[in-house]
């Protein structure tokens, strides 16, 4: 095992850090060229690049986990590859083949191995694959050239509380339209979420929870994570909607709740006026992992699911199961773990 650099591993936040190496590939004339690692953290591109004007940009987020024996796990990277391919289809960008995508992740993790947090610290190496449309252009049409990059940084908790519940605010804005780009992990969705997120944080909330863009009657998702609830008859429920990001963590929890905890599960509508049947609720995602939702502010009413200070028992069990698999302590379902 490579010696680690000297960082305060137990207290990492979720901040950019420039690591020694990143992966870069250039797409031109119908194919990917010049792929490999580089030490250059900057990208110089033409001022007409569609990424600047028309948001032709898609990305992914996943993590590398240090196991007890020092080895390193990737969690379901094939699912991130597939989701990036779907995002690319939506924005008329060339797809990054799964093998190239996973190969790039492995190269970046290996080259920056000294920054993969130690087992037991709670930290992970966050990986950010990113594809942008570049080159001289001015009309609203897709780029003829693209850059695919993967960079990395060690991270800790995304929401301040970790497994401590935090409060969320029902958004007055939409981040994605009903048949828009909510299902794709594309830059524009996040640009649209900056103001609502900032307003929520200014009022002391962790983030906002978006409501269905048609009527604002149902829960959609958190700005950077999906929503789940546990019903009073022990069912795992999570919103079904065309405008939310299909979270890989959420689909993993749907599987684990059913197969490991023996629960019923359902992707369904979760109405604001029917929240009393949820006895626990949380935000789930790669960065958020599982973050319990304590209170949910809807207008002038604060709805508390389980507790504003304690994590619920089912949420905790799901957290232990998921993180146990990610860090290699529990047996993973077939194909979920890829060793670096
Ligand atoms: C808007 C949004 N929803 C949900 C998620 C969670 O998805 P995943 O579990 O694949 O990380 C993310 C983060 O990746 C996100 O940005």
Looking at residue 281, its pLDDT comes to 97
Looking at residue 35, its pLDDT comes to 87
* Mean pLDDT, range 46-52, rounded to an integer: 97
Domain containing 102 equals 22-156
* Mean pLDDT, range 34-46, rounded to an integer: 95
Looking at residue 235, its pLDDT comes to 97
Other Cβ atoms less than 10 A from the Cβ of 331: the count is: 11
Q: How far apart are CA 236 and CA 228, in angstroms?
A: 7
Confidence of residue 161 (pLDDT cuts 50, 70, 90): low
**d(CA 246, ligand 1 centre) in Å:** 7
Asked whether residue 27 is assigned to any structural domain, the reply reads yes
Looking at residue 159, its pLDDT comes to 63
Q: Are residues 317 and 216 in the same domain?
A: yes
Residue that the structure tokens 């990208």 belong to:
43
- Of 106, 116, 107, which is closest to residue 3 (Cα–Cα)? 116
Ligand 1 touching residue 291 (CB < 6 A): no
Q: Are residues 187 and 93 in the same domain?
A: no
> Alpha helices of 92-186 — where are they, by DSSP H?
98-111
Asked whether residue 5 is assigned to any structural domain, the reply reads no
Q: Are residues 135 and 101 in the same domain?
A: yes
Residue pair 115/5 in contact by the 8 Å Cβ criterion? yes
Ligand 1 touching residue 166 (CB < 6 A): no
Asked whether residue 110 is assigned to any structural domain, the reply reads yes
pLDDT at 107 over 70: yes
Measured between alpha carbons, how far is residue 109 from residues 2, 55, 77 in Å?
A: 12, 28, 13
Q: Are residues 50 and 150 in the same domain?
A: yes
Ligand 1 touching residue 321 (CB < 6 A): no
Q: Are residues 135 and 57 in the same domain?
A: yes
Strand pairing partners for 303?
296
Residue 330: strand, helix, or coil:
coil
pLDDT at 248 over 70: yes
In this prediction, what percent of the chain has a pLDDT beyond 70? 99
| Summary mean pLDDT of the chain | 95
Looking at residue 34, its pLDDT comes to 77
Q: Are residues 135 and 223 in the same domain?
A: no
User: Of 63, 106, 185, 218, which one is the catalytic site residue?
Assistant: 185
Ligand 1 touching residue 239 (CB < 6 A): no
* Mean pLDDT, range 169-182, rounded to an integer: 95
Looking at residue 99, its pLDDT comes to 97
The CATH number linked to 144 is 3.30.470.10
Residue pair 239/270 in contact by the 8 Å Cβ criterion? yes
Ligand 1 touching residue 207 (CB < 6 A): no
Measured between alpha carbons, how far is residue 43 from residues 38, 113, 145, 191 in Å?
A: 11, 23, 14, 20
Could you identify the atom of ligand 1 that is nearest to the CA of residue 182? 1
pLDDT at 1 over 80: no
pLDDT in tens, 282-303: 999 999 999 999 999 999 999 9
pLDDT at 74 over 90: yes
Residue pair 22/133 in contact by the 8 Å Cβ criterion? no
Ligand 1 touching residue 252 (CB < 6 A): no
The CATH number linked to 213 is 3.20.10.10
Strand pairing partners for 147?
26, 132
Looking at residue 79, its pLDDT comes to 98
**d(CA 212, ligand 1 centre) in Å:** 17
Count of structural domains within the chain: 2
* Mean pLDDT, range 135-145, rounded to an integer: 95
Q: Which of 123, 156, 189 is the last residue of a domain?
A: 156
**d(CA 139, ligand 1 centre) in Å:** 31
Asked whether residue 10 is assigned to any structural domain, the reply reads no
Q: Which of 130, 156, 182 is the last residue of a domain?
A: 156
**d(CA 287, ligand 1 centre) in Å:** 8
Asked whether residue 15 is assigned to any structural domain, the reply reads no
Burial level of 301, CB count in 10 A (0-12/13-18/19+)?
Answer: exposed
Could you identify the atom of ligand 1 that is nearest to the CA of residue 80? 10
Ligand 1 touching residue 77 (CB < 6 A): no
Q: Are residues 148 and 209 in the same domain?
A: no
Asked whether residue 7 is assigned to any structural domain, the reply reads no
Q: Name the residue with the closest Cα to ligand 1, atom 15.
A: 224
Q: How far apart are CA 55 and CA 78, in angstroms?
A: 25
The answer to whether 68 is a known catalytic residue is no
Q: How far apart are CA 200 and CA 295, in angstroms?
A: 13
Q: Are residues 309 and 247 in the same domain?
A: yes
pLDDT at 8 over 80: yes
Q: Are residues 33 and 96 in the same domain?
A: yes
* Mean pLDDT, range 55-63, rounded to an integer: 98
Q: How far apart are CA 94 and CA 82, in angstroms?
A: 13
Q: Are residues 86 and 138 in the same domain?
A: yes
Ligand 1 touching residue 129 (CB < 6 A): no
Q: Name the residue with the closest Cα to ligand 1, atom 2.
A: 224
Asked whether residue 4 is assigned to any structural domain, the reply reads no
Top mutation candidate among 64, 77, 197, 286 for ligand 1, by most atoms within 8 Å of CB: 286
Top mutation candidate among 57, 58, 60, 61 for ligand 1, by most atoms within 8 Å of CB: 61
Q: What is the DSSP string of 67-107?
A: -TTS-EEEESHHHHHHHHHHHHHHTT-PPPPHHHHHHHHHH
Q: Which of 132, 156, 180 is the last residue of a domain?
A: 156
Q: Are residues 283 and 178 in the same domain?
A: yes
Ligand 1 touching residue 326 (CB < 6 A): no
Residue pair 177/243 in contact by the 8 Å Cβ criterion? yes
Asked whether residue 16 is assigned to any structural domain, the reply reads no
Strand pairing partners for 28?
31
Residue pair 179/52 in contact by the 8 Å Cβ criterion? no
pLDDT at 230 over 90: yes
Q: Are residues 238 and 140 in the same domain?
A: no
* Mean pLDDT, range 185-210, rounded to an integer: 96
* Mean pLDDT, range 222-247, rounded to an integer: 96
């Amino acid at each position: 095992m490579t010696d680690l650099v000297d960082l305060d591993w137990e207290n990492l936040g979720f901040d950019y850090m420039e690591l020694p190496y990143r992966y870069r590939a250039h797409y031109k004339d119908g194919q990917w060229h010049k792929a490999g690692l580089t030490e250059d953290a900057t990208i110089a591109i033409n001022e007409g690049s569609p990424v600047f004007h028309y948001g032709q940009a898609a990305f992914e987020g996943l993590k590398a986990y240090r196991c007890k024996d020092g080895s390193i796990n990737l969690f379901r990277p094939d699912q991130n590859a597939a989701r990036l391919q779907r995002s690319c289809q939506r924005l008329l960008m060339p797809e990054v083949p799964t093998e190239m995508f996973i190969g790039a992740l492995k190269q970046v993790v290996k080259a920056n191995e000294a920054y993969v947090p130690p087992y037991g610290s709670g930290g992970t190496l966050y990986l950010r694959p990113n594809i942008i449309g570049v080159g001289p252009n001015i009309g609203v049409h897709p780029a003829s050239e693209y850059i695919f990059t993967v960079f990395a940084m060690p991270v800790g908790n995304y929401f301040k509380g970790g497994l401590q519940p935090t409060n969320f605010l029902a958004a007055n804005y939409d981040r994605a339209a009903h048949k828009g780009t909510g299902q794709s992990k594309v830059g524009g969705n996040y640009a649209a979420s900056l103001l609502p997120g900032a307003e929520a944080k200014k009022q002391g909330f962790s983030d906002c929870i978006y409501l269905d863009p048609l009527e604002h009657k149902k829960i959609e998702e958190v700005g950077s994570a999906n929503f789940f609830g546990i019903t009073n008859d022990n069912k795992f429920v999570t919103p079904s909607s065309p405008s939310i990001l299909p979270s890989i963590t959420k689909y993993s929890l749907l599987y684990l709740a059913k197969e490991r905890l023996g629960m019923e599960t359902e992707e369904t509508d979760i109405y604001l006026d029917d929240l009393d049947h949820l006895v626990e609720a949380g935000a789930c995602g790669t960065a958020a992992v599982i973050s319990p939702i304590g209170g949910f502010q809807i207008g002038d009413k604060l709805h508390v699911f389980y507790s504003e200070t304690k994590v619920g028992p089912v949420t905790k069990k799901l957290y232990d199961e998921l993180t146990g698999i990610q860090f290699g302590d529990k047996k993973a379902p077939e194909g979920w773990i890829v060793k670096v």
